Structure 1
Amino acid sequence: MAGRFVTFEGGEGVGKSTQIRRLAERLRDLAHDVVLTREPGGSPRAERLRETLLSGGAKRFGTFAETTLIASARADHVDRVIRPALQRGAIVLCDRYVDSTRAYQGSLGGLDKASIRSLERVATAGAWPDLTVILDAPVERSLERVANRAQGAAGDRFESEGRDFHGRLRAAFVEIAREEPERCVLVDAEGPEPVVAGRVWDVVSRRLGLTETKSRAV
């Protein structure tokens, strides 16, 4: 695969969607071919499963069944979106990927590591991130952002969980970053959006060897 694959991870309300869009814009300004995608979803078939997963429709069948459904959506996403983009040399930016499954269904849902690793091997089929940016912020700040984003509407299954859930979720992502420092980088998500974007760019440009001198093709 000739392209580069960067995933963004973190708990609810840490600013992943904002920062991944900012990074995509910066890379496109430098004339890079960028594919911005997300999980659950990312491909037409996987998007159809997204609502079921985020609404909690799969939760009643148990964590293993839910994780299997996530893996099925991921396999289609990889096959139809991620792999073709990498093969043509694009930079793929994905909002959530395998580490979210490890955190939500593994650390918090109680599914054993062996089952999660087996499912992710099948689903990813070798499409593994070159870099994973894990955004980190205090739970109070994250919950405040979630509330502001919802503007009084009910959050999805995970956003609606209590403080203890979000605290354990943050700890799970921090542990993932510590376990795989060669792939994962923990980035402080506190502060104004442009400041956080600068931190993200420092990490991504350094790890992927990118510069801001690339000129657009004419």
Structure 2
Amino acid sequence: MPVTPSPGRYAARGVFVCFEGGEGSGKSTQSGRLRAWLEAEGFSVVATFEPGDTEVGRQLRRIVLDPATGTLSDRTEALLYAADKAEHVDTVVLPALARGAVVVTDRYVDSTLAYQGAGRALDVAELEAVARWATQDLRPHLTVVLDLAPEQGLGRFSVRDRIEGESLEFHRRVRESFLQMAAADPDHYLVLDAHLPEEQIEQAVRDRVRPLLDEVAQS
């Protein structure tokens, strides 16, 4: 019997916003801008990232990103990322949402599906089952995809980690995966051209986040 995909779980308190996209697309910059605006509006904000924003996660980040690690089995790499997400959601994301905060994360499950699924060519359905289990099927209320051709994004790095150092074709598959996920669920995604001025991107993000603050954060 075929299994019907889960529609996901959305936190009843707080707001969960995720920034996704390829290398050098400006996720950290826009995460910081959103945080500053939210704090100025009086909201409690937790700005976080994956992999590595827990004590356990820092160790996992070193393993998966340090070029000195060398070659990992694709499945091993995927499971290390899943472990980071499990710890991150349990100890950072869910507690913050439970107290009504706005959580802004730089990367989440979609990065696993794009990089280890499309990039490494693992079975995406199997990979998603692991990632959703690790994160208790918690979904962001909004995922902002900052879209940038990998040729341009990768050119912003003089030194590359294990993932950044992958082939151009790898990163093209990653980009296409992000766009496909966004196209499949437009109610929960916002795709923006990363070439746009930072202020224009910031305003577009604010416009999509503001209704969530009214509908969710005050519930």
TM range (shorter): 0.7 to 0.9
Question: Per the alignment, do residues 84 and 103 of structure 1 end up closer, same or farther by CA in structure 2, a change over 3 Å counting?
Answer: same
Structure 2 length-normalised TM: 0.86
- Deviations 1:13-35 (CA, angstroms, capped at 9, x unpaired): 11000001100000000010000
Which of 164, 169, 181 is the equivalent residue of 1:164?
169
- State the distance in 2 between where 1:193 and 1:111 align: 34
- State the distance in 2 between where 1:160 and 1:61 align: 14
- State the distance in 2 between where 1:27 and 1:73 align: 26
- Deviations 1:90-134 (CA, angstroms, capped at 9, x unpaired): 010110000000000001111112321221222111422111111
Equivalent residue for 1:102? 113
- State the distance in 2 between where 1:43 and 1:186 align: 28
- What is the SS of the residue equivalent to 1:182? helix
- State the distance in 2 between where 1:98 and 1:139 align: 20
Question: Per the alignment, do residues 80 and 130 of structure 1 end up closer, same or farther by CA in structure 2, a change over 3 Å counting?
Answer: same
Contact 2:65 2:162 in 1 (8 A): yes
**What is the 5 A alignment of 1:6-85?**
6-56=17-67, 60-85=71-96
**What is the 5 A alignment of 1:60-209?**
60-144=71-155, 146-147=156-157, 152=158, 154-206=159-211, 208-209=212-213
Which amino acid in the other structure matches residue 85 of structure 1?
A
What count of residue pairs does the alignment treat as equivalent? 205
- Deviations 1:127-161 (CA, angstroms, capped at 9, x unpaired): 221111111123343233x23xxxx4x21122223
Contact 1:82 1:127 in 2 (8 A): no
Unaligned runs of 5+ in 1: none
Question: Per the alignment, do residues 57 and 180 of structure 1 end up closer, same or farther by CA in structure 2, a change over 3 Å counting?
Answer: farther
- State the distance in 2 between where 1:104 and 1:32 align: 32
Question: Per the alignment, do residues 114 and 155 of structure 1 end up closer, same or farther by CA in structure 2, a change over 3 Å counting?
Answer: same
- What is the SS of the residue equivalent to 2:80? helix
Question: Per the alignment, do residues 58 and 65 of structure 1 end up closer, same or farther by CA in structure 2, a change over 3 Å counting?
Answer: farther
How far 1:57 moved relative to its partner? 6.2
Unaligned runs of 5+ in 2: 1-10
- State the distance in 2 between where 1:140 and 1:167 align: 9
- State the distance in 1 between where 2:59 and 2:137 align: 24
- State the distance in 2 between where 1:56 and 1:175 align: 29
Which amino acid in the other structure matches residue 179 of structure 1?
A
Contact 1:190 1:196 in 2 (8 A): no
Contact 2:114 2:173 in 1 (8 A): no
Moved more, 167-176 or 74-83: 167-176
* Cα RMSD (Å): 2.1
- State the distance in 2 between where 1:163 and 1:70 align: 22
Contact 1:134 1:186 in 2 (8 A): yes
- State the distance in 1 between where 2:67 and 2:83 align: 17
